[in-house]
Amino acid sequence: MARTRASSSTNQHLEPPTAVPTREKRKKNHLHKNPDSYTINPTVQKSFLNTLLLHFPNGHSYQIDPPYFLHCCYNNLSTAATTTLSPIRAISDDLYKERNLKRLVEKFKQYSDVNRFRTKNGIYESTVQRLASAKKFKWIEEILEHQKQYKSDISKESFAARLVSLYGKCGLFENAQKVFDEMPDRNCKQTLKSVNALLGASVNSKKYDKLETLFKELPEKLKVKPDVVTYNIMIKGLCDKGALDKAAALIDEIEKNGLNPDLVTFNTILGAFYSTGKFDAGEKVWKLMVSKNVTPDIRSYNAKLVGLINNSKVSEAAKLVGELGSFELKPDVFTYGTLIRGYCDKGNLEEAKKWYLELVKSGSSPNKVIFGSVITAACEKGDFDWAFELCKDVFKNKCHVDAELLQGVVDGMVKSSRIWEAKEVVRLGKSNDYHLYKLKLPSDD
């Protein structure tokens, strides 16, 4: 079908169809002829144009009819939203797919102009986590400080508490403290919500001395009463610091203040005792938990499994896993991983294989730690048939294991004259679609 090409110099529009237009078409034709008659909410217009400029930085060099062009783009976006993705989902996907971190920062700041975007805590969490993993702390500060310009949001405690928490999770405690201290200047109330956020930030930033000071001073200063969440944050900090007895003693203080320790309270303390070889102390806390009518969950049992494995009680650990069904609990990947590690450490490859297969049958995917345990054990035992299958599972599951682990498999295979398998692992390392492993055959050096 022939088309009439619009002249970019005269900004002509396509001629309307000769057929009698429908009501919708008459409206569209009216917009063609009277583009200035269409108006869009100024905030939406600013945000959308900013987004366009991100993708077309030289957009000013094109002869665009702004009102009508904006209408068409916005209308198409709205139509697409009803049939495919919502605008916020589209924004989230755009940020997720952006590999250039500097561009990610710029996009995040532009999208922040959208009111609904600023309500999506998950997008903030994932973006900050990505930047923190890359150690781009200045850029984290850039996007979070940018949020302070949104006066209606930053004056709300929930929004300010989010910034406090985000700063804490990437170790920028001073910034978190600053946001908290600035809250009164913005007529933003400080309740237990923001207090707990600051305490959590001190734990995540490993500022344990600061945690204890704030825990003592803030409730009295702000006239707020700590709740069980407050105590759980404090317990977590003390456990991380290594002050386990002091953490356990807080259970009594919780009850003296008319509160009940919950599952999080006990799981935190259990995990700390069992993982540091203090099995008997962990058992005492377990009995106390049961006496308080707090029902253990899979995390509780996983903590006990760690204690059993660390005390070389692998058979007892396996028995406990077998009993989980009677408690209406299912093993998770951590359960299997702990037991597999125990058998690998004991050199019992057959039992490790058995539980690895149980893990796969359960529908869970082995993680980096599990692959590290089983591949190392297989190589030490000279079982390169299984080591080869495990390497294929690594690539099948797109698991990011250490290159040294795979290189060790290749080296062991070559020494055992398993040249074809060694070459195949090298090939998979280079040809997979998620991570490049620069593996070498010993003869390549």
Cβ–Cβ under 8 Å, residues 63 and 8? yes
Q: What is the pLDDT of residue 313?
A: 97
Q: What pLDDT is attached to residue 123?
A: 97
Q: Which two tokens stand for residue 230?
A: 């407050």
The C-alpha atoms of residue 244 and residue 240 are separated, in whole angstroms, by: 8
Mean pLDDT of 21-50: 49
- What pLDDT digit, counting tens, does each position of 11-34 carry? 333 344 444 455 555 544 544 445
Please answer whether residues 105 and 139 qualify as being in contact, where contact means their C-beta atoms are separated by less than 8 angstroms: yes
Assess whether pLDDT exceeds 90 at residue 148.
yes
What does the alpha-carbon distance between residue 200 and residue 198 come to, in Å, rounded to a whole number? 5
Query: What pLDDT does residue 443 have?
Result: 72
Looking at residue 37, what is its pLDDT?
44
Q: What is the pLDDT of residues 198-227, one digit of tens each?
A: 999 999 999 999 999 999 999 999 999 999
State the Cα–Cα distance between residues 34 and 140, nearest whole angstrom: 44
Q: Which is more confidently placed, 5 or 427?
A: 427
pTM for the whole thing?
0.79
- The residue that leads in pLDDT, 169 or 25, is 169
Average pLDDT over residues 43-51: 52
Q: What is the mean pLDDT of residues 123-138?
A: 98
At which residue do the structure tokens 């356990």 appear?
Answer: 248
| Number of residues in the chain | 445
pLDDT at residue 85 tops 80: no
Domain boundaries, the chain: 37-54+66-149
Dist. CA 68–CA 195, nearest whole Å: 49
pLDDT, position 82: 41
Provide the pLDDT confidence category of residue 8 given band limits of 50, 70 and 90: very low
pLDDT at 48: 53
Give dist(CA 61, CA 53) in Å, integer.
12
Summarised one tens digit per residue, pLDDT across range 391-443 is 999 999 999 999 999 999 999 999 999 999 999 999 999 999 999 999 999 87
* Stretch 359-374: mean pLDDT: 97
